[in-house]
Structure 1
Amino acid sequence: MNVLKVSFVELNARERVKAVLDEGTFRELLDPFDGFESPHLERQNIVPQSDDGVVVAKGKVDQEPAVVISIEGNFQGGGIGEVSGAKIAGALELALRDNKEGTPTRPILLYDTGGVRLQEANYGLLAIAEISAAIVALREYVPVIGVIPGKIGCFGGMSLTAGLCSTLIMTKEGRLTLNGPEVIEQEAGIEEFDSQDRRLIWNTIGGEQRYSMGFVDDLVDDDVETLKEVITDHLDSKDTQPFRSEQVDLFRSRLQNINPSQPLSPLDVRNIWNETIAEETLDEAAEGSDGNPEASRGRTWFTALTDQTKSEDVPSVLCTDKTVGNERVRYIAIAPDATNRFPRALNGEVGLAEGWAIAHYVREAIEQDEDGNRRAIVAIVDVPSQAYGYNEELLGLHQAGAAAVDAYAKARQAGHPVITLIVGNAISGGFLTHGLQSNYLLALNDEGVNVHVMSKQSAARITRRSIEELEEATKQTPAMAYDIQSFATLGALHELIDGIDADHPGSEDIEKIESRIIESISSARSGPLDLSHRLQSPQAKENRSASIKVRERLTELW
């Protein structure tokens, strides 16, 4: 007898959770009657939703405790704001607590999201960093299952969290990418990516392509029963292979196989991608490059703090070790490189090579310091964004970013003090990849220091506003503003440092910054290994109160 298939894609977020959980075990936490709406939308003339577009439920899958988190793509495109982000991060943090206490609560993430909700901007940026940290910590106890069914797909910073999952499942109807087609077209032009070309989109970021490139573990039919069977199989997986975001050498070698100066078709890339080159070939390809001396604040401060001017591997990723006081410190910075193999990363953007190189340098420090004498890692941040390009999305920019996020989070959790020094721009996926997983964030108090999720031009296009309207909205919602003073009001900064010449640091400036770094390293060595302190500052208690209240209520209901 033929069994009638039921589409998973066509279900809403709440129906999807009920479909995954064993019948009769669904118990929603923070349901619409709890009334946790975004406090930031109504003032922008946007009608809020009483669950803020995220459904969290506890129950059982195959008779084992589970928490299922489902994002509603029909509300604000599944965008992550303060409340929705706190629901996801808070639920994962409580699952982590369960597992540490001996209750193996299994987390399942059902994605349908465009990434950060631009109307809440930096709230979403901070929430995604916290979601990422929780996933990396949880994977040490139980598999973290991600599912991308379709409709919206998985875009923006949330694609990095998908790249961190133990197992990722997609349908052919799903899409997975860091930069959406419209954003690439806005930033790089229609010649780079035509956002109206549906065939191009599916061949670049669709489920079949992602599966063929190894960014997804299972490609399944759009059927409820089939999907649940695949999820169940993975929940008790004893697979000892490294997580995808840990397979740095493999993906770096694959990337070296690619010649980005030639037109890349999806079919050609699939054939080349799986032909791994030898490690010595990778090393030879990196030799002889002195980088490029273009000025940037990232390069300026890397040189000022280390006396070094270039990298021995990827020219755009500067890395060196130095002893400062009694501390061994590994400094990492991104800098412009006019000779970059991937032209969309010429100006200091975090691209494919950059993400994987960061992951390599951080993981190298972890491996070398396994004896317990763990050096500090300082991320010097001046990144205009992630790279926007066809090649970048085709070759998995989201996975390169996830690898860097994974490495930084692992280093922090292993006891390496990770300190971020923001000296210039800290924008979007570039900042999520390089900087937001640190124990402490330091920033220069300078008008050239900006934090945000997207350029003003792209943010205006996506939200269908003029730049003037966008700037007016920032007066009501500081998280939408670009300046570092507004970001500081959210409570995530450890210190906003005054009186520094950001572009031409003198000896006193350098000494002052070094002293702040050393103080932060000392605090990190005796402080928490997670990111919970970012919600404990006076500024956070005032301006991220919804993030705190969501977690408190989730804990009561858990």
Structure 2
Amino acid sequence: MKMLKDSFVEKDARQRAIAILDEGTFRELLGPFDGFESPHLQNQGIVPQSDDGVVLGRGEIDGESAIVISLEGKFQGGGIGEVSGAKIAGALELALQDNQKGIATRPVLLFDTGGVRLQEANYGLLSIAEIGAAIVALRNYIPVVGVIPGKIGSFGGMSITAGLFSSLIITREGRIGLNGPEVIEQEAGIEEFDSRNRQLIWNTIGGVQRLATGGVDHLVEDDRETIRNQVREVYQSGLNQQPRSTQVELFQSLLMSIDPSQHLTPIELRDIFEKVKEGHEELVKYVGHESTKERSSRGLKWFEALTDPSEEVHSRVPSVKCADGMLEDERARFIAVVPNPNSRFPRARNGEVGLEEGWTIAESVRNAIKEDEGGDKRAIVAIVDVPSQAYGYNEELVGIHLACSAAADAYATARLAGHPVITLIVGNAISGAFLAHGLQANRILALKDPNVHVHVMSKQSAARITRRTVEELEVATKQTPAMAYDIDSFKKLGALHELIEGINADAPDVEDCIIIKEKLRAAIIDTRGSQTDLGNRLRSREAREEGRITSILVRKQLAEQWS
């Protein structure tokens, strides 16, 4: 008689963590009785939870040291705020330290998350960048395994994180995508994506489709023992798999083989992906058009102001500008995302980070890493003015989250390889676009200007998701700086290396450019010889005295409980 399966999806976060670890080895870190709950929810009328929706299970997998990080989708949709984000990032950072010391510690993350918790918006953005940084570093020592078991899945910035994993396991009930269906409908209209169409959603971002098009590695049944065994198999295989976010050539070939003017079906995408993997020469290559200068942007103005046209490096798409130049004695590669009204992908024509943009950023950064291997490492300067990632059906189907992962991965890899990575925010730095292009930098500089914004989502979409009016949302931002859009509020969180005043952000003159070049060079020099992780953001005065106090305390107590 066949035994009934033991559903993994139906378990809560704690039960899932226990199920992955060897029997009897589970020990919870920073559990409910340690008193770490979000300090930012109660004043917004939300009851906090004593573990903030993240369970950290220390134990063993096949007798080897392990840490299982399990997200609870029933609390705030598994959203990432300051405490939950610090628990995840802190645990991965400690696992990295173990592996660097020769103690093989296996990291497993069980996804059940809608992404950034909007009530703590910019805390979530910073945390997800720190989580991603730890994953990219950890992959050099040991596989980093993710499991996406249920329909809450992995969305928002956490889908970008998922794209960085060594190996991803998903069930048929699992989903992964950058933009939730409601957000796409809000931003692009119901004609682009009908959020009420369940079959459309699963055919676009469900487990079966993601496996068929390279977005995950293993599709498994919703069964505790099956999932547990698959995790073990990954570790038994060792470091023999190339992370998908580093497979730039493969996914660029896929994009070139797609006609985005058509409404691509899931089956068509699967067929094209199979042919690309097999290297079929009969594939049609779709070529885009050169951009005109009809639509300028701050990002384009500053790219042109800081670089010489003769030093521009050919980019695969006109919306990604790349140039090499000098900042006195420092070599630097400048990269900016700019509007392209002729983009092949219509949802990415106004400076958004879309499918082509993400993979092209990755190519531009990785080319610099390859060229400088064994020699002096040039600086990489990300000029940031990105209104958001692209919202669209084709984007989700093909995997815009993975394109953003590729860009973030490349910047993090450059930073770890010794390239000073410097971000200059001159306009908008919004959502997954900022996670892809800017948040993996050693140092972040920003212009002090009322039109320089940092956030996770447009106000209209944020209001819809949190079930508030835009007016109510703006009131809440005054109580919680992490929810605010202005650069002064972001500075309070401690992540900015410098906020630069007195610069004409819209029309920089010669003197403005001299000042900014001096600031960039100083940031590069400050970076050389310093640590290559993102820890400086937690050591800044603003972070220690106000902005990240809880993040620091979480990490401190977690380290005390680790061994």
The answer to whether TM tops 0.5 is yes
The CA deviation string for residues 125-182 of structure 1, in whole angstroms up to 9 with x for no partner, is: 0000000000000000000000000031100000011000000000000010000000
What secondary structure is seen at the aligned counterpart in 2 of 1:526? coil
In the TM superposition, 1:241-390 aligns within 5 A as 241-276=241-276, 289=290, 292-308=293-309, 312-390=315-393
- 2:423 match: 420
Give me the whole-angstrom Cα distance separating, in 1, the residues matched to 2:313 and 2:98: 46
Residue 127 of structure 2 aligns with which residue?
Answer: 127
Tell me how far 1:269 sits from its aligned partner. Answer: 1.3
Structure 1 segment 483-502 matched on structure 2, within 5 A: 483-502=486-505
Q: Which amino acid aligns with 1:208?
A: V
* Paired amino acid for 2:220: V
- How does 1:74-473 map onto structure 2 within 5 Å? 74-276=74-276, 289=290, 292-308=293-309, 312-473=315-476
Shift of 1:327: 1.1
In the TM superposition, residue 307 of structure 1 has moved relative to its aligned partner by: 3.0
Instruction: Report the Cα offset of residue 110 of structure 1.
Output: 0.1
Shift of residue 3, structure 1, vs aligned partner: 3.0
**2:561 matched to 1:557?**
yes
Unaligned runs of 5+ residues in structure 1 are none
- State the alpha-carbon separation in 2 of the partners of residues 147 and 312 from structure 1: 35
**Contact 1:26 1:58 (8 Å CA) reproduced:** yes
Distance in structure 2 (CA, Å) of the matches to 1:61 and 1:431: 35
2-structure distance, mates of 1:189, 1:393? 15
Aligned-residue offset at 1:284 = 8.5
Contact 1:287 1:312 in 2 (8 A): no
Structure 1 residue 241: Cα displacement: 3.8
User: Aligned partner of 1:254: which letter?
Assistant: L
* Other-structure match for 1:545: 549
Question: Corresponding residue for 1:58?
Answer: 58
TM-score, normalization by structure 1: 0.98
CA distance in 1: counterparts of 2:283 and 2:39, whole angstroms: 50
Partner of 2:40: 40
Question: 2: CA distance between counterparts of 1:115 and 1:195?
Answer: 18
Query: TM-score, length-normalised on structure 2?
Result: 0.97
Counterpart check, 1:31 vs 2:35:
no
Deviation of 1:310 after TM superposition, in Å, equals: 8.7
Deviation at 1:503, TM superposition (A): 0.5
- In 2, distance between residues paired with 1:399 and 1:302? 26
Distance 2:476 2:385 in 1: 25
Contact 2:142 2:239 in 1 (8 A): no
Partner Cα distance (1:40, 1:207) in 2: 34
Structure 1 letter corresponding to 2:268: D
2:327–2:518 contact (8 Å) kept in structure 1: no
**Structure 1 residue 287: Cα displacement:** 8.6
Residues 291 and 135 (structure 1), Cα distance of their counterparts in 2 relative to 1, 3 Å cut: farther
Task: For 1:28, give the aligned amino acid.
Answer: E
> CA distance change for structure 1 residues 286 and 517 in 2, over 3 Å: closer, same or farther?
farther
**Once the two structures are aligned, what percentage of the paired residues are identical?**
65
| Alpha carbons of structure 1 residues 287 and 173: separation in structure 2 relative to 1, 3 Å | closer
Provide the rounded CA distance (Å) in 2 between the counterparts of 1:519 and 1:281.
51
For residue 174 of structure 2, give the secondary structure of its aligned residue in structure 1. coil
Q: Which amino acid aligns with 2:55?
A: V
1:292/1:339 contact within 8 Å kept: no
Q: Is the 1:167–1:234 contact (alpha carbons within 8 Å) kept by the matching residues of 2?
A: yes
Q: Is the 8 A contact 2:288 2:342 kept in 1?
A: no
What CA distance in whole angstroms lies between the structure 2 residues aligned with 1:279 and 1:417? 39
Q: State the alpha-carbon separation in 1 of the partners of residues 508 and 358 from structure 2.
A: 28
Distance 2:413 2:99 in 1: 18
Deviations 1:385-443 (A, max 9, x none): 00000000000001111011110000000000000000000000000000000000000
- Residue 478 (str. 1) matches residue 481 (str. 2): yes
What residue identity is the alignment partner of 1:136? V
Q: Report Cα offsets for 1:88-147 as digits up to 9, x if no partner.
A: 000000000000111000000000000000000000000000000000000000000000
Q: Secondary structure at the match of 1:554?
A: helix
RMSD: 1.7
Q: Which amino acid aligns with 1:353?
A: E
Q: State the Cα deviation string for residues 452-482 of structure 1 (Å, max 9, x = none).
A: 0000000000000001110000111000000
Write the distance in 2 (CA, Å) between the matches of 1:187 and 1:478: 25
User: Deviation at 1:237?
Assistant: 1.7
Give the Cα–Cα distance (whole angstroms) in 1 for the partners of residues 134 and 446 of structure 2.
24
